[in-house]
Chains A and B, each alone.
Chain A
Amino acid sequence: MQFRLEKRQEPSRFMLYATPVAAVVLTMVLGAIIFSLIGFDGLGAVREIFLTPLINPLKWQDLAVKASPLIIIAVGLSIGYRANVWNIGAEGQYIVGGLAGTGVALATWEMTGWWLLPLMIIAGIAGGMAYAAVPALLRVKFKVNEILTTLMLTYVSVQLLNYLVLGPWINPTGYGQAQTRLFNADQTLPYIIPGTIVQLGTPIALLVALVAWVLMSKSMFGFQIRVVGLAPHAARYGGFSEGKTIWLALLVGGGLAGLAGVLEVAGPFGRMVPSFPTNYGFTAIIVAFLGRLNPLGIVVAGIVLAITFVGGQVAQTTIGLPFPAVGLFQAMMLFLLLAGDILVRYRLRRVVPLAVAEDVA
């Protein structure tokens, strides 16, 4: 029996939505098999990682906290990816955004007022944008590949973070511990649901996704991004500059990553610490693709990835699964998703002697 891939006349809308679901389900199946083979309770691991956070209402607030930065960063990345701008250094822009917000917080440490938090947020967005402006300039002026520059700048930002929290920004009353002062009450995100750990970052994430959805599907901004990504020559004919679009894509991606950074440091962290980089910027790449580069899909995908984070912690305590196993599940998900993508544009046909092929997909 032979199979053959056949190009579809139009991309399948069914497959567009079915393959992300299939990728998650297959990840669970393969994950159960792999962890059973290496001596863990495979089924238990999958149950703890994927189901417990959903079933247990006490874990929902953790999901909101984890999903919010992932959604904000992934929305920004998806806009770039639509324009064929491959920013994979959101982690660095997230760190610099957090640092910019911290800088404002430390400079205004003795002040109070409602305006402190908005100022920190603006600084965070500007910090992320500035950090993404470097790859944008290099790409537009000198045609330097942004995949390399954005990634490498991430490592630079980690060094900058370590230098600042160990040096100039170290807490003067902290007995030499590498961290900044704790932000004051006006510099910290308010809790929005009493009795939970859900802060202002969560509604901001949903708002960002909604605004991005409107912009991408209904505005000339979204049209420009998509046409430059799909057909640069046609974009020029339509009057859209590729250079400007690259700038826009990187600034939006960097700005949103910076926003996520400042919301984290002013939210769950409450101060800048060396353990601030938590790979949200890299995980958001998976979120962006799992959400089909659609801001509303990204909200769902952000929750799915948050489930694996929260579930990973559960599995660590209940069945002794090492936390890096979560990374394995996440990577498998991205891999299966990208592999499944081919079914959107192609169909799998069984080659039977004497025609009458049938859909196997």
Chain B
Amino acid sequence: MVDTCDPTAETSRTMAEKMIGTGLKDIVRGEGRQMGNAKFVVSNLSTRKLGHFDVAVEGVSFSVRAGEILGIAGVAGNGQNALLDALSGEVEAHAATAIVLDGQPLGQLGTTARRKHGLCAVPEERNGHAAVGDFSLAENTILTARDRMSMVVMGLINSGAARTYTGKVITEFAVKALGPASLAGSLSGGNLQKYIMGREILQRPSVLVVSQPTWGVDAGAAAAIHQALVDLAAEGSAIVVISQDLDELLVLCDTMAVINSGRLSASKPVGTVTVDEIGLLMGGVHGDKTAEGAHAVPA
């Protein structure tokens, strides 16, 4: 399929539509959604620096209500990975109450226990972190969905249940794969990302934390992932999206905060915040004068 056009006469949207061959769907959000009470509360969360080039997070606090999507913007390498590891449970917090979901302190639980409580997470790196390339998709499903989707009975794997759930992810998220037995490593990056997002979203977590949800995914698939996140929020889940893509965050999120040098700014409703303001925060310039220079290290 070849098409020609005059770039000056096209918008990025019409260009993207030409590339994927169909019209882009708009994200449909329930107007006038009722946000519930604070569901997922993080207070004063800090991590230790693991390696020389590692950026730790320091005193991060935010709260997400049921039905809310919080976006965390920031330039790559400002502590996004440390924040995700601390939220997912790969790294434990100093205090159990640093991470609270529906009143339950989760700060000192591991990833498995946090998932059982309804907190699921998707890290940025797909191969070797969110998925094992040498494992089939069904085995990758067991990696994170085994408890919430009852795939293990007395230490034995119910591979039928894993295949069925994987098949559901493949169909509902339009993953291009031969089937649950395909190796994760044989999928294209975009399709693997759709599979990973589907694997977590279809578990219907109460809180979903995702990093770079649409990295390297074509515009059509990105829209489908965005819609799935919005739908999940509409069901009353609290969602945290960490992304470097400002456009994505502005379209998707209800509130936004910015991470810089491991510190998180206060979150503000998306309608009230300007792109300029976010840009300054991303560069390490904090708006309120009193705090300026106190801990802001220019990137």
A221 near B90 with CB under 8 A, answer no
Tell me which residues across on chain B come within 8 A of A239, comparing CB atoms.
89, 110-112, 115
Bin the interface of chain A by size. Answer: 10 to 19
Central interface residue in B121, B133, B146, B156, by most chain A CB within 10 Å: B156
Q: Which of A182-241 contact B (CB under 8 A)?
A: 218-221, 223, 226-227, 230-231, 233-234, 236-239
| Cα(A221)–Cα(B156), bound, Å | 9
Tell me which residues across on chain A come within 8 A of B132, comparing CB atoms.
227, 230-231, 234
B135 near A227 with CB under 8 A, answer yes
B134 near A230 with CB under 8 A, answer yes
B144 at the binding interface (Cβ < 8 Å):
yes
Interface residues of B (CB under 8 A from A): 88-90, 110-112, 115, 121, 123, 125, 128-135, 139, 142-144, 146, 152, 155-157, 159, 183, 185-186
Min CB–CB distance A3 → chain B (angstroms): 24
A219 near B155 with CB under 8 A, answer yes
Option from B143, B146, B152 in Cβ contact (under 8 Å) with A237: B143
A10 near B90 with CB under 8 A, answer no
Option from B129, B134, B155 in Cβ contact (under 8 Å) with A221: B155
| Cα(A60)–Cα(B207), bound, Å | 62
Central interface residue in B132, B133, B139, B185, by most chain A CB within 10 Å: B132
Tell me which residues across on chain B come within 8 A of A226, comparing CB atoms.
135
Tell me which residues across on chain A come within 8 A of B155, comparing CB atoms.
219-221
A9 at the binding interface (Cβ < 8 Å):
yes
B156 near A234 with CB under 8 A, answer no
Min CB–CB distance B120 → chain A (angstroms): 11
Q: Which of A265-285 contact B (CB under 8 A)?
A: none
Tally of contacts, chain A with chain B, CB under 8 A: 63
A237 near B156 with CB under 8 A, answer no
| Cα(A237)–Cα(B90), bound, Å | 6
| Cα(A220)–Cα(B159), bound, Å | 11
Chain A 1-31 near chain B by CB (<8 Å), digits 1 or 0:
0000000011100000000000000000000
Q: Which residue of B lies closest to A8 (CB)?
A: B186
B144 near A223 with CB under 8 A, answer no
A-B contact pairs, 28 of them (CB 8 A): A219-B156, A220-B152, A220-B155, A221-B155, A223-B142, A223-B157, A227-B132, A227-B135, A227-B143, A230-B132, A230-B133, A230-B134, A231-B128, A231-B129, A231-B132, A231-B134, A233-B125, A233-B129, A234-B128, A234-B129, A234-B131, A237-B123, A237-B129, A237-B130, A238-B111, A238-B144, A239-B89, A239-B115
Option from A218, A231, A237 in Cβ contact (under 8 Å) with B157: A218
| Cα(A239)–Cα(B111), bound, Å | 5
Interface residues of A (CB under 8 A from B): 9-11, 218-221, 223, 226-227, 230-231, 233-234, 236-239
Q: Which residue of B lies closest to A227 (CB)?
A: B132
Tell me which residues across on chain B come within 8 A of A219, comparing CB atoms.
155-157
Tell me which residues across on chain A come within 8 A of B157, comparing CB atoms.
218-220, 223
Option from A220, A223, A233 in Cβ contact (under 8 Å) with B128: A233
Min CB–CB distance A223 → chain B (angstroms): 6
Min CB–CB distance B68 → chain A (angstroms): 25
B143 near A238 with CB under 8 A, answer yes
Kindly list the 7 A-B residue pairs having the minimum CB-CB distance in the complex, ordered from nearest: A239-B112, A238-B143, A239-B111, A231-B132, A231-B128, A233-B129, A234-B132
| Cα(A237)–Cα(B88), bound, Å | 8
Tell me which residues across on chain A come within 8 A of B129, comparing CB atoms.
231, 233-234, 237
Q: Using known A-B contacts A237-B123, A237-B130, A238-B144, determine if residue A10 contacts B183 with beta carbons closer than 8 Å.
A: yes
| Cα(A11)–Cα(B134), bound, Å | 9
B111 near A230 with CB under 8 A, answer no
Tell me which residues across on chain A come within 8 A of B134, comparing CB atoms.
11, 230-231
| Cα(A230)–Cα(B152), bound, Å | 21
B111 near A231 with CB under 8 A, answer no
Min CB–CB distance A221 → chain B (angstroms): 7
| Cα(A118)–Cα(B132), bound, Å | 41
A223 near B139 with CB under 8 A, answer yes
B135 near A230 with CB under 8 A, answer yes
Min CB–CB distance A8 → chain B (angstroms): 10
Instruction: Kindly list 14 other residue pairs between chains A and B, CB separation below 8 angstroms, not including A218-B156, A231-B132, A239-B110.
Output: A220-B156, A221-B155, A223-B157, A226-B135, A230-B133, A230-B135, A231-B133, A234-B131, A234-B143, A236-B111, A237-B88, A237-B111, A239-B89, A239-B112
Tell me which residues across on chain A come within 8 A of B128, comparing CB atoms.
231, 233-234
Central interface residue in B90, B111, B123, B143, by most chain A CB within 10 Å: B143
Tell me which residues across on chain B come within 8 A of A223, comparing CB atoms.
139, 142, 157
Tell me which residues across on chain B come within 8 A of A231, comparing CB atoms.
128-129, 132-134
Min CB–CB distance A6 → chain B (angstroms): 15
| Cα(A252)–Cα(B247), bound, Å | 52
| Cα(A164)–Cα(B84), bound, Å | 56
Tell me which residues across on chain A come within 8 A of B135, comparing CB atoms.
226-227, 230
Tell me which residues across on chain B come within 8 A of A233, comparing CB atoms.
125, 128-129
Min CB–CB distance B90 → chain A (angstroms): 5
Q: Which residue of A lies closest to B151 (CB)?
A: A220
Central interface residue in A218, A220, A223, A231, by most chain B CB within 10 Å: A231
Min CB–CB distance A192 → chain B (angstroms): 30
Q: Which residue of A lies closest to B183 (CB)?
A: A10
Min CB–CB distance A310 → chain B (angstroms): 37
Min CB–CB distance B139 → chain A (angstroms): 7
Min CB–CB distance B80 → chain A (angstroms): 15
Tell me which residues across on chain A come within 8 A of B139, comparing CB atoms.
223
Q: Which residue of B lies closest to A214 (CB)?
A: B156
Q: Using known A-B contacts A218-B156, A227-B132, A230-B135, determine if residue A237 contacts B144 with beta carbons closer than 8 Å.
A: yes
